[in-house]
Chain A
Amino acid sequence: MNTTLAIIALLDGISYASLLFLVAVGLTLIFGVLGILNVAHGSLYAIGAYMAATIGGWLTAQGYSIWLTFPALLVAALATGIVVGGLLEKFLLRRIYDKDPVLQLLITFAVFMILENVQRMVWGVQPYFMSEPLRALGNVGVMGIQYTVYQIIFLPAMAVLTLVGLRFFLRNTLAGAQIVAVTEDREAATSIGIHAKRVYFITFIIGACLAAMGGALATPTTSVLPGMGANMIVLSFAVAATAGLGNIEGALLAALLIGIARSFAIYILPEAEVLMPYLIMVLILLWRPLGLFGSVKARKI
């Protein structure tokens, strides 16, 4: 493997890791606060992608400027996260917070089955493409290699922005402080007048929006296909588990680790591409059973 190929692999890895982080951080945030692993998170990712492809495709078909596809990505992500995530929490998850963890898993798994089916019914099985945002931003030379600005500057910027924004929100705003309080001790938080139910609702919607955002931002770089949700839920779980479930900052590191390892595998040993993320996860879990930054504390954020 020569240097050029190594640099390309590194750039691929960083751009992929940014998307992975967006989805995984939503999963880990929801787990940290609600204590539920949302298997349907993968579906939110996929629906976000389909929505972005549909709205973006419609805009370009109408002859609007391709720059309008950027707000379209955002609108698709927020609409998906708020509508699907909101309905899910309000009508289903709210009933199962006091149930067995196995039953909670089964319920979100059932939701995943339902949403995968709904996607097929709405969008069919043919792939969707929407590469306008990629073209709009053009290319940039990185260490002698031409790479798309969208993938190497825009996506990582979005990931870092999300991390910083989330940190700021949780540590410096009242709503964020309420979320942290409920995570630490739900009863104590309720007794000082925090509306725990609303905190759960808001957290779930934020997490859902992040998953949909990951999907929407992935649309320009990949074709939108059935089955992308199933792959993403296990992959983002691998990232969250490697970092330690519930750990937000660690998720960025784990996403980078897994994203870069995966893209190197593509160039060196293509068959091992799918194996790589899980290999890393298993090795790290063997070494630290609770993940890189996991601690014994029952819940963390």
Chain B
Amino acid sequence: MKWIALVVALVFLATLPLTFDTSLTFAAIVFSKMLAVLGIFVLLQAGQVSFGHGMYFAAGAYCAAYIGAAWRGPDLIVLTLSAIVVSAIGGFVIGLFVSRYRYIFFAMLNLAFSMVMFALLEKLFHYTGGTDGMRVRRPTLLGWEFNRATFDVVIYYYALGLMLAAAVLVWLYLRSPLGQALKALKVNETRLEYIGLSANRTILVAYVASAILAGLGGLAYGVVQGLATPDMTFWTRSGEFVFIAVLGGIGNVVGVFAGTFVYEGVRFYAAALLDDSWQLILGIVLITVILVVPAGLIGLPQRLMGAMGAGRFKEKAKG
């Protein structure tokens, strides 16, 4: 049943350019955000939350902008590799520091770093273009150049492929001993240390992975939009990633898909109506989800079925 649903979804996504070519850019943006949300999702497995992953998102986009400015017509593969390297190095250096902390400090230190990056991107006008940001040139792919319409399709498949590959890798990672250690850290950190695993190192690995995911997401986002701006590392952006991850549910990778699609869908259609009160609504929904449906969207069907099952059980008991 689950597999059928998955296959249907995949076929739908793979054939989307043939059917609804108008919503391609929208879908590509959803995929790029999904990558960043996957990063937050990985950290949530260890019970940690980062309010600053926008900084890696911005790092990926600015990476594409700088390389595009240096070599006109960069290749998408080169951009991808450099975004991975840049966000991995950034994640490692900052991770060495933040991996010593948990919960409040972990979240707030990340927020502090991302605020510093935001301020620097805005202030160092001559290097970063200030608030206006930098243009991201349309890259080639394996040497081929594309016009705008074809590129939309290319970048759609690129983002889709990247996101699927990342989702599979995250799934494999969480099933691996390292991933299990990450989940164990949430349950009992002392026990993890007793087994002989370093809790800080476990977090560090997850942190670098999440930084790379956010970096790739930022790269794809920047290329789709053709623009890298400082507000990609503003706290509202990082908050948005956390919001989507929690909305989708932290128990399952599928939650990230569901969360991002619902979120972006609502935003896409309601933005015009609710632009002024968008954050207000997000905040209220976030509180409601945490207090009422802690398992997120992905837990909703189970919860409903559970309620129905309990109802049947009661009837039987009566009968």
A-side residues, CB < 8 A to B, are 31, 37, 39, 92, 95-96, 100-103, 105-107, 109-114, 116-118, 120-121, 230-231, 234, 237-238, 241, 245, 271, 274-275, 278, 281-282, 285-286, 289
Contact = CB atoms under 8 A, between A and B. Distances in A.
A183 to B, nearest CB: 17
Smallest CB-CB A-B distances: 5 pairs: A114-B283, A274-B119, A113-B283, A117-B280, A110-B286
B246 interface: yes
Contact of A241 (B108, B115, B246, B278): B108
Given A106-B290, A113-B286, A114-B279, A278 B112 contact: yes
A100 B112 CA distance: 22
Contact of A275 (B49, B120, B284): B120
B62 interface: no
A26 B123 CA distance: 30
Most chain B CB atoms below 10 A, which of A109, A117, A118, A281: A109
A37 B47 contact: no
B303 interface: no
Contacts of B101: 289
A277 B111 CA distance: 13
9 contacts: A107-B290, A109-B242, A113-B280, A114-B283, A116-B279, A121-B277, A237-B112, A241-B108, A281-B112
B32 to A, nearest CB: 22
Given A274-B119, A274-B120, A106 B283 contact: no
B190 to A, nearest CB: 14
A113 B282 contact: yes
B268 interface: no
Interface of B: 44, 47-49, 51, 97, 100-101, 103-105, 107-109, 111-113, 115-116, 119-120, 123-124, 235-236, 239, 242, 246, 276-280, 282-284, 286-287, 290-291, 294
A241 B116 contact: no
Given A105-B103, A113-B280, A275-B120, 12 more contacts: A102-B103, A113-B239, A113-B283, A230-B235, A234-B108, A241-B105, A241-B108, A241-B109, A274-B119, A278-B113, A278-B116, A289-B101
A38 to B, nearest CB: 10
A231 B109 CA distance: 13
Contacts of A37: 104, 108
Contacts of A39: 51
B286 A238 contact: no
B97 A286 contact: yes
Contact of A113 (B47, B279, B294): B279
B246 A106 contact: yes
A245 B104 contact: yes
Given A105-B103, A107-B290, A275 B283 contact: no
Given A113-B279, A117-B279, A278-B116, A234 B111 contact: yes
Contacts of B111: 234, 237
B242 A117 contact: no
Contact of A101 (B103, B115, B235, B276): B103
Contacts of A96: 291
